Structure 1
């Protein structure tokens, strides 16, 4: 089993590439999305010093057909929108390894996590190279399929939460504290923590031996 984190350079004309390059300090997260014909409906979050300005740039981009701002605070904005760009979904359908949500974009780069077999990962790399997409392998962990459960980032986040007392009843720290120990924002820590917990719960309920948690 392979667990990998990659950065993939977005096509220069992709709307999220254009907007993210205009706001290089902002973080864009695709929380969920679905393609419907020649359109895609997505739920996205922006974390930035000026979230309203970034959200406005998304709403007025020519590739965005409809945009609804669902919530906004001083440092983030949550929106539902419809786009004519469906290349991401075509890529996901072609890839042997579907990425895990959320999909992060910073300054024109996708940041994605993948989990699968060696053959599946080799197929993904071959597809990226055939498409002449620039990419960087951030981390790669290979283990026996029965021994791999969490990505390194999920394990580190869960360990930090456990160490800080996040799972105690009552809790001894906030999610913001966990995020601070990892040097990430609260939304990132929350997403990684949820995915790691979901994997552990699903794995445990299938009847696997509890020693696997060590």
Structure 2
């Protein structure tokens, strides 16, 4: 039975964290890891950063072949990174453990990860691997997504839960709509695009931790 773990890692403890160096109030949100041949290509959002200086710093790393913009909004930019993760023990450990990335958010000091593992034994092996690799892993939550009492929010982060709850209360999902994303953004104090992205990620997380997991469990019986 699958298990979901939320954990924190210092930015300096893994190669991707060292490559994606940021400062100030900038944050990085990993969209997904895309396997292309033998390579792993990250797609990630950078919030509140100067794009030119960020790309220049990233491309100066010896392990990076290229960093390119995919999409640009007023307050965030989507990048793709062509990089050889030969020395990134954390990413290698996730891949070898068949971990599924649900979310990853980086700040100048730390990264917060949410991963699904096949079972508790694999999670234990992953934790041991990180310890032996010199990665300071701090586990915040571990829960089974098929057991509602194990975790109250089915993998939702606090901002996602806040946005989704407010959207329901203000009638965003009603027909006709009771509010717009701009009105939600004003209530939350964030941009219109950020609200849309937060709702999208929240729905993906909620479905992944309930319906998708339940279907997987039924198919294995």
**TM-score clears 0.5:** yes
Instruction: Tell whether 2:83 aligns with 1:83.
Output: yes
| 1-structure distance, mates of 2:209, 2:177 | 22
- Cα deviations across residues 154-182 of structure 1 (Å, max 9, x unaligned)? 88354443333232223333456279649
173, 176, 193: which one aligns with 1:167: 173
Which of 104, 129, 132 matches 1:130?
132
Cα distance in 2, alignment partners of residues 52 and 174 from structure 1:
33
Alpha-carbon distance in 1 for matches of 2:54, 2:187: 24
Match of 1:62 in 2: 62
Deviation of 1:188 after TM superposition, in Å, equals: 4.2
CA 1:165 to 1:69, structure 2 compared with 1: closer, same or farther past 3 Å?
same
Matched position secondary structure for 1:129: helix
* Structure 2 CA distance for aligned equivalents of residues 130 and 60 of structure 1: 29
Tell me, which stretches of 5 or more residues in structure 2 are unaligned? Answer: none
Q: 2:172, 2:179 within 8 Å by CA — same for their partners in 1?
A: yes
Partner of 2:155: 151
Shift of 1:65: 0.8
Aligned-residue Cα RMSD (Å) equals 3.8
* 2:205 matched residue in structure 1: 195
Q: Distance in 1 between matches of 2:94 and 2:186?
A: 29
C-alpha deviation, 1:204, in angstroms = 7.6
**Structure 1 residues 13, 126: CA separation in 2 closer, same or farther (over 3 Å shift)?**
closer
Alpha-carbon contact 1:5-1:111 (below 8 Å) kept: yes
Note closer, same or farther for the CA distance 1:114–1:38 as it changes in structure 2 (3 Å cut): closer
Structure-1 separation of matches of 2:131 and 2:13:
17
**d(CA) in 2 for partners of 1:67 and 1:171?**
39
Cα 1:2–1:36 shift into 2, 3 Å: closer
Cα offset, 1:90, TM superposition? 1.4
Give distance in 2, aligned partners of 1:142 and 1:179: 35
In structure 1, the residue corresponding to 2:202 is in which secondary structure? helix
In the superposition, the TM-score normalised over structure 1's length comes to 0.71
Aligned residue number for residue 14 of structure 1: 15
Provide the C-alpha distance between the structure 1 equivalents of 2:61 and 2:198, rounded to a whole number of angstroms: 26
The answer (yes or no) to whether the contact 1:45–1:77 under 8 Å persists in 2 is yes
The one-character-per-residue Cα deviations of 1:24-63 (angstroms, maximum 9, x if unpaired) are: 4211122122344664323221111433432343344332
Three-state SS of the structure 2 residue aligned to 1:166 is coil
TM-score (norm 2): 0.69
Displacement after TM superposition at 1:107 (Å): 1.4
